[in-house]
Structure 1
Amino acid sequence: MSNRTVWQTAFGGPENIEIVEAEVPVPGPGEVRVRVAAAGLNPVDWKLAAYPALAEAFRVTVPGGYGNDFAGVVDALGDGVERWSVGDRVLGAARGHAIAEFVVVPATKLVAVPGGVSLRDAATLDIAGRTAAAAVDALELTASDTVLIGGAAGGVGVIAVQLAVATGAQVIATASESNHDFLRELGAIPVAYGAGLAERVRAATDRPVTAATDLQGTETVDAALALGVSPERITSIAANGATLPEGVIATGGGNARPDALADIQRRIADGTLRLEIAGTYPIEETAAAVKRLRDGHVRGKLVIAVDPALV
């Protein structure tokens, strides 16, 4: 039984990515082995491979495996696992070794994938779904709100925009011009990012902006404060809490409610939330996919099809 695995041979860029034949992992007590169908790429993946200090903080080793998000089918159970059965469709996270034919993870870290959700789509959700839910939930939006979402066309942003629209709030979303029609389709009012953002937001709505979330850096935080938004109603996923203005909420996937991914998948299955997959690559072309992600301006997510028969 093979276990083709994406391997980062040294710190740096996608030029250091190889496909190697690794041992098939064996699940220990409380663990589950998953035959991976697909893995979703996140910006943090290439950053961990590029920056030693960041890798150390996340306990990722280089040389070593690659990726975090995956979805697949339960293949084997360790002793004491009762929640799962062989053949169950699941998604999860395997920090630093997700892009492989087989991964072993704690049984408690898996989430069921329901009918109506493909394993390809499920593979994009662990980081982006949790992070989007955390960023939007913390704002406690209602129909009386107007919320500014920065970085709205990325993997997290596409989900966050739709979760915010579902609350009834008016959504102002920043993105490059090429993504504006797409954001309108999601129910948002698009504006271009960059210098002069606050002025463009004022021109886009006659309602006061009451909340904001910044999914890329601090530009949207600064614009929201200039627009008079209370710091306690601004969230940011891309900046360390110590660097944010006082009162602004630093958040991330770790702050998501336990049922966040189940809720997002229900919305996907019933057609009220759409995912945007910018490209699906075979495992042999992982380096090309990482390069595309690193180059920026990817709408939605990029996916590695590890086992096309399961995707």
Structure 2
Amino acid sequence: MSTADLIAGSAPIIDPAAFERLRARRHASPDDVATVLAARSRRPLVRDDGRLFIVAADHPARGALGVGDDPIAMADRYDLLQRLALALSRPGVDGVLGTPDIIEDLALLGALDDKIAVGSMNRGGLRGAVFEMDDRYTAYDVDAMVHDGVDAAKLLVRVNLEDAGTARTLEATANAVTAAARARLPILLEPFMSRWDDGRIVNDLTTAAVIQSVAIASGLGASSAYTWLKLPVVPEMERVMAATTLPTLLLGGDTDAAPEETFASWEAALALPGVHGLVVGRTLLYPKDGDVGRAVDIAAALVHGR
């Protein structure tokens, strides 16, 4: 599905001239990034219904460009930005999650006004690398997010009990949570119990493993006052939510399930106490039928009501 086909029968959200201006500013006026971020209109993290719907786009920085059967679906940055701009233009979409390059592109394009910007701290352990469990943080840090007016932070916490590298990850995560709490910056932790399996890392999505990951992540840092959780939807989700008092957003992920099944599982989990919304990326930005607007609208209705 081409970019021109993303919005049924209408022009793309971003025109070629806007991309030309973006390239020119990045080339000749790098100070514009800080200026635009400082000037953008901001909003409270949550509004009247207390719910959040965030579109995720931090996958490319992890080298994870594939969606479904296409290993380089997210490789075209201009196509990705069009999809993000379309998603952000839809009612009920509260903001975007990305690494600095994504957040800054969207800010320069004027797509972040009155939207939540969630800064991904990213992970150093790239998929398939010999250092995959070395999940040091390689993008935003708390000071940079506070300086740039980023509204919340996000990081991944993979806990592998068979890999000594996990100790460094837990220490770095605890330090980030402590720094975020001191800065009063909400921080989303995405925890998994992980293991090596035939040379690759696999996340354990059993209910018991997710509960264990919640317990570990909840205790990281000198204060949990600003900690949120970002959790996958698994069987017996009510047991998972009984394991924490922390505000929680649901992780969408890339799935082979039929869209109807995916939306139904989200709807059921969104009804649980403590669940306050969705963070979804590839499933909505690259839907199987190519209709980004429709997929985003359905998810927004699940989060905020029709």
TM over 0.5: no
TM-score by length of 1: 0.29
Structure (1/2) with the larger strand percentage: 1
Between structures 1 and 2, the one with greater helix share: 2
Q: TM-score, normalised by structure 2?
A: 0.29
